Structure 1
Amino acid sequence: MNWKRIALGILILSLAAGVWGFLMLLNNGQQMLGLGSFVVWGLWMTLYVFFASTAAGMFFIASLDLLFKVKTFAGTGKIFMLASLTSLGAGLVHILINEGRPERVMNVFLHPNFDSVLAWSVWIYTLIALATAAILFVLFMPQKRLPFPKEPVVKWLMILGFPVAVIASGAVGFTLSTQSSHSFWSVGLFPVLFPIFGMSAGFALSRIIVALYGDKKSPGYPRLARTMVISTMILLLAITYIIGSVLFVGIYDATPPTIEAANYIMFGQYWYGFWIVQMGLGIVVAMAALITILVKPGLSKKPAWGLSVGVLVLLGAAVARLNFIIPAQVVAGADFLSSPIIDSRYIDSYIPTLPEWALSAGVTAAAILVFYMVARMMKLIPVRIGNEETGNE
């Protein structure tokens, strides 16, 4: 079975679906979305959060090579930084198509209101995008074409970009925590939860990249694979603890909206998303696979194992964003009502429409193809573990 052809076929179909979804958006506007009367942040907002936090996680992992010079990650900095920028691009596309008038985003730069956390988030993500693009520009440019040595410039760009990436990883958590109308979000753990989600997604994506494109003959490959397995396990355990803490606080907070939101996540309309996908596949099954790889190191050289674990963790991380963003809006909206609304236009739930899924699939496929083509063009594949990234080539 030719897996490359199957993967290419899936990507082409996803792109076609994305084109159809985009045409539907152009023809019907926001009416094609399945947003409810109170749920104004849906699938696209959730995927924006997912891709943006994954980008921050990939930036951290790339810094292990480019900034901190950790030998285990030597040779991975360029391709991980490229994955960071690609993921951030996919996230920004999702947030732009989510806006009814995306051109008005310029107002955040021309007339910023820094009393708003959302304004800070836009500026932070813009800065991290510029920093990542600048780092990649220097890395990809041949030394003879640059009027300065690469390594110190990359180092200083990484030093400047690293704190911005730290803030960016928790930006969504800060945004949600300051929404006083949604008491379930007003938990101090949210700014901590989202960076850990981003790190776990970053390690999952990096594991996929190394499994598919890493040079298995490199002497540093087994050590890198083992480090990634252990790091992902630790992050999954941390996520499990924090999720449990958030739900525990929500249930015992004694505030009706927080109790309802916690119950909605676990037993509401999307209970299967929490128990089966997020906790079952994304944590339990992924953890079992990671333990198996740890016990049998030879499995780390089989792409199917690394790919499967990475996809499971990424899937769980993506669904986790849905589970934390959607229910709080449903419950908060109902809580504000002094009496039930009797109107055919009233929608008290949210189910993403087919065009929403299609356009998201297309954006994701486009991001994957752009990443692969640039990585091939810049000769980043195969990933040679142990090579220095900022040499004088």
Structure 2
Amino acid sequence: MSRTVGWILFAILALVGVVGVFLRFTSSRDLAAYGSYIPWGLWVATYIFFAGLSAGAFVVAVLGHVFGVERLRPVAPLALAIALACLGAALVTVWFDLGHMERVLNVFLRPHFSSMMAWMVWLYTAYAIATVLALYGLWRGLPSLTRIALMVGTPLVVFYPGAAGALFGTVVAQSLWHSPVFPILFLFGGVLSGIALVTFATVFFSRKDKDYTDRVWLLGRITLGLLLMYLLIEWAEYSIPMWYQVGHEFEALMGVLFGPYWFVFWIFHLSLGMIIPILLLALWPRNPLAVGIAGLLASSMFLSVRLNLVIPSQVQPQLEGLVNAYRDRRLSYTYLPTLFEWSVVAFSVALAIAIAYGVVWFLNREKKLEVTQ
């Protein structure tokens, strides 16, 4: 029954996503709620979200095969499948956000070595190769290749989320972004959300062997520790700019907390994404169902964190009165994702599910590894 429901939900996501992709190719970005003042929105936030999930999932495989955490070795194939799937979804999503999608190859054909975006693409490419090689090593039974690929990929996992944060942090015109803490936030948040996603997948989709309960408990403990540490970092991120209650950063953060979309922070991020998972993990650490639900909430609700990173700084005018200086539908400081934008995100989610399922199905078909039940 649960499998049937899952396939139905996947089919709905895929159908909605195909419609969104069709509209993206036929109408460019005209149906998106972007404007001259707000060039980045839901798709950029989703791209960062998926990229972070990929990094965190990769870390689980590294812990098992590089750092020798034996209880995590059996979930390495599942973790790497998730890492590859989320990376593919991230790159496709940000590709859809490009005004000229056909120019994506210019990063390789006509590179600018001073471009932070170019470095990000190169890091993604190297990371994707390392992930594929690690999976190939698991499939072929080559533990040395898997370990080497994971060791090579480890610094890439550190660098590419940090590079994404640095891309935002180097935008000097946006004071909320222009901070050295952004690379740390991107890296730490990605590891947290990715490990939480692997925790959810381990509970509901991994093989229940004799170490299953201990494995779930360990992943739950790691997720709980990361959640508490992220709360501390976020407290510093919010409290310090708001201390004197002046400036663009203060206004942007007040918009996050008490603006028209206050519920994104208080309900989706803080309540569903942080407080409830922390309570579940703290009160029922050996209950697989509680740990799995906590992992799902912590990982999926992290999209709200990415939205609150990308959008609030853009909806604050850089010059007082600028919003009234010129009148045009694309000269607006308001942004709400359209159904068209959400439909493209649905395609990215369906793509990630399809890639992860395909990798796991292939490993099981080859009878090299029993990844799922």
| TM-score, length of structure 1 as denominator length | 0.89
Matched, 1:248 2:239: yes
1:338-383 superposed Cα distances (whole Å, 9 cap, x missing partner): 5723413222111111011112112201221231132022115445
Equivalent residues of 2:176, 2:313 under 8 A apart: yes
Q: CA-to-partner distance for each residue in 1:292-312, whole Å, 9 max, x for gaps?
A: 322xx2x21x4xx34422221
Q: What is the CA–CA distance in structure 2 between the aligned matches of 1:336 and 1:67, rounded to whole Å?
A: 53
The answer to whether 1:173 aligns with 2:165 is: yes
The residue number in structure 2 matching 1:340 is 324
Confirm or deny that 1:377 pairs with 2:362.
Answer: yes
Report the Cα distance in structure 2 between the residues aligned to 1:224 and 1:339, rounded to whole angstroms: 54
The corresponding residue for 2:257 is 266
2:115 aligns to what? Answer: 116
Q: Which runs of 5+ in 2 are unaligned?
A: none
Give the equivalent residue in structure 1 for 2:137. 138
Q: Aligned to 1:279, which of 261, 270, 273?
A: 270
Alignment RMSD (CA, Å):
1.8
What's the offset of the Cα at 1:37? 3.0
Match in the other structure for 1:161: 153
Q: Is residue 55–residue 83 contact of structure 2 (8 Å, CA) maintained in 1?
A: yes
45-54 or 70-79: bigger deviation: 70-79
The residue number in structure 1 matching 2:199 is 207
> What residue in structure 1 maps to residue 53 of structure 2?
54
Could you give the per-residue CA deviations for residues 102-137 of structure 1, whole angstroms, max 9, x where no partner exists?
A: 221111112222222222111111111121112222
Mapping 1:1-393, distance limit 5 Å: 2-141=1-140, 150-216=142-208, 218-252=209-243, 256-294=247-285, 297=286, 299-300=287-288, 302=289, 305-331=290-316, 333-335=317-319, 340-345=324-329, 346-379=331-364, 380-383=369-372
Shift of 1:327: 0.4
Deviates more, 1:188-197 or 1:49-58: 188-197
- Cα offset for 1:43? 0.7
**Partner SS for 2:39:** coil
Amino acid at match of 1:16: L
The one-letter code of the counterpart of 1:182 is Q
- The whole-number CA distance in structure 2 between the counterparts of 1:167 and 1:126 is 12
What residue ranges of structure 1 are gaps of 5+ in the alignment? 144-149, 385-393
Residue identity (%): 29
Q: Quick check: 1:213–1:381 contact (8 Å CA) kept in 2?
A: no
Contact 1:36–1:349, Cα closer than 8 Å, also in 2: no
Give the direction of change, closer, same or farther, for the CA distance of 1:339–1:270 in structure 2 (3 Å limit). Answer: closer
CA contact (8 A) 2:252 2:312 kept: yes
Give SS of 1:25's match: helix
- Aligned in 2, Cα 1:339/1:158: closer, same or farther, shift over 3 Å? closer
Distance 1:310 1:158 in 2: 24
Count matched residues. 368
Amino acid at match of 2:362: M
